[in-house]
Structure 1
Amino acid sequence: MAAGNPWDPASAPNAAGLLLDHFVASGMVTQEMLNISKKSASCFVNFSRLQQITNIQAEIYQTNLEIELLRLEKDTADVVHPSFLAQKCHTLQSMNNHLEAVLKEKRSLRQRLLKPMCQENLPIEAVYHRHMVHLLELAVTFIEGLENHLETLRNIPHVDANLKEMSKALAKMDILVTETEELAENILMWQEHQKEVCEIGEFTSSIIMMPLCEDYSGRIEKLPGFSSIFLILFL
């Protein structure tokens, strides 16, 4: 049977309990002080907490170490992981087989490369012919645009020189336009002058011909029979 707690006044009365009751009654201690002193506080509680903290820190360190290992494995997976290594080995094996086939057919490949590519048809199925027509149109358009772009790129280093030549040509054109305008004005003036000269010549010839016509008409009238015919022909 468990013994009574000597610090608990409510337990069975004993000497310690009676003494504590006497102290409480006399006011030397209070019930609250007795309640506080009654609580058990093991001296190993702090040590257990320290042990728990140490264990938690060890778990955190172990978790961080595992995370670092996983990161390292992820970074080096293409080097050390079996699946990636198998894929690389398969790719290398395929490349090796292709190179072996190329070396075996080296002579025929060399002859095909030396042979000019002309008058040869590529085997294309009939269902793809319409697509090939569209593809050829696109290729022609692309080549035309490519030639224009290449010509533009070739002319870029000569842009400054071309601009200078254009400026000189424009200056010469302005001079030629001015000279042409002056020449046109001179031609118009010459035409007016020639017109005036022709008018003066016609007027002078008419004045000179009038006495001659009168003299000839008087002489013709004296001729019998031929006067009227000659006058008509002359006039």
Structure 2
Amino acid sequence: MTSDATPCLFKDEGEPAHSSGGTVFSPEFYEAERQIGMRKELNELELEAELLRLEKTDADVTHPRHLATRLEALRNFCAHLRDLLEAQELLAGQLQRPASHENLSVPPQLRSYVIEAVHLAKEFVETLDEKRTAVLNSGHVAQDLDQLDESATRLTAQSRDVVNLAKRLHQWNFNESASF
């Protein structure tokens, strides 16, 4: 017991109270206390082992030999990208130059893109020509509408004349058949 009259199972951290020589509790209690201490120590050792495993895996990744291979792979990839960009700039330069009597060398992997670009340019020119024609003809639309209205008026007048002639003809036929 401690000085404040409360029972204490442990004198210090991990040291059982029964070590002072007095037997206050049953032997099973002391055995359970010992097993708890051993489990605690086992858990601590497992944690240390896990930390060591993590350090080992991290040490492999951060080891200069491992980093050197990764760095070399990254350098190779960057060089490859640089070569691709230079080839793209070369192709763009070739496409901008007029192709008078010279062959345009297009790498095979880019030919489908060049063909697609030519088709898109053709469609663009056709659409542009249609829109240009529509804009040019838009000034004539008002004149065409006036002419259409005038033609409709003339057609209506002529149809009235035809109806009147048909009535007169019918009347004349009726008068002729009545006189016989």
How high is the TM-score relative to the length of structure 1? 0.29
Structure with higher RCO (Cα < 8 A, 6+ apart): 2
For the pair shown, the structure with the greater C-alpha radius of gyration is 1
